[in-house]
Amino acid sequence: MKTIKIKDYYGIYQEIPVSDELYEEWRALQNETQRIHRKEVYHRDWTPMDDLEEMPQHFTLNELEDALIWDEQVVKLYAAISQLTPIQQRRIRMLMDDMSIREIARQEGCHMNAALKSVNGALKKLRGLLQDH
């Protein structure tokens, strides 16, 4: 039998005898609580709230402008896709339809590594084509 120290509502510590099983569960809970606290402190944004309120106003949303930019980017993307080989075009469209590389390979009737190499080559070519724009 082991004892644990627990702080009550008034800040007074009390030693309570508990079984070994309960003690191990309590230690695991304490460790998990400390791990979460350290993670939150590590990833905390230390910017004061006053500075956040004074952020520049150019971050406001302009839905019309965003929609126009999005439409232009989609047109450029499909123009770049049209410059790929027919096999790469087909595989990129399958990838855009949320198919996995394994599913693409199965549908194309080829080995998974061949489909992966083809898709990676197509993506590399698309990056190069889209950087030119």
Q: What is the CATH number of the domain that holds 76?
A: 1.10.10.10
Q: What is the sign of the dihedral through the CA atoms of 24, 28, 33 and 35?
A: positive
Containing domain of residue 11, as a range? 2-42
Q: Tokens in use for 88?
A: 């790469």
When the pLDDT of each residue in the chain is averaged and rounded to a whole number, the result is: 88
**Is residue 25 situated within a structural domain?**
yes
Distance CA 60, CA 44 (A): 24
Query: Is there a single domain that holds both residue 28 and residue 65?
Result: no
What percent of the chain shows pLDDT beyond 90? 66
Task: Give pLDDT, residue 26.
Answer: 92
Claim to verify: residue 125 and residue 65 sit in the same structural domain: yes
Using the predicted structure, report yes or no on whether residue 118 has a pLDDT greater than 80. Answer: yes
Q: How many domains does the chain have?
A: 2
* Higher-scoring residue by pLDDT: 66, 77: 77
Both 69 and 124 in one domain: the answer is yes
Measured CA to CA, the distance from residue 102 to residue 93 in angstroms comes to 15
pLDDT at position 122 over 70:
yes
Residues 27 and 79 in one domain: no
Give the Cβ contact number of residue 81 at 10 Å.
17
Q: Is residue 52 part of a domain?
A: no
Min mean pLDDT across 12-26, 59-73, 91-105, 109-123 is at 59-73
Residue 121: the pLDDT is 96
Do 65 and 113 belong together in one domain? yes
Higher local confidence (pLDDT), 44 or 101:
101
67 located within any domain: yes
Residues 17-68: tens digit of each pLDDT:
999 999 999 999 999 999 999 988 888 777 777 766 666 666 667 788 888 8
Q: Are residues 103 and 73 in the same domain?
A: yes
φ, ψ at 15 (rounded to 5°): -95, 125
* This prediction's pTM: 0.52
Asked, for residue 54, whether it belongs to a domain, the answer is: no
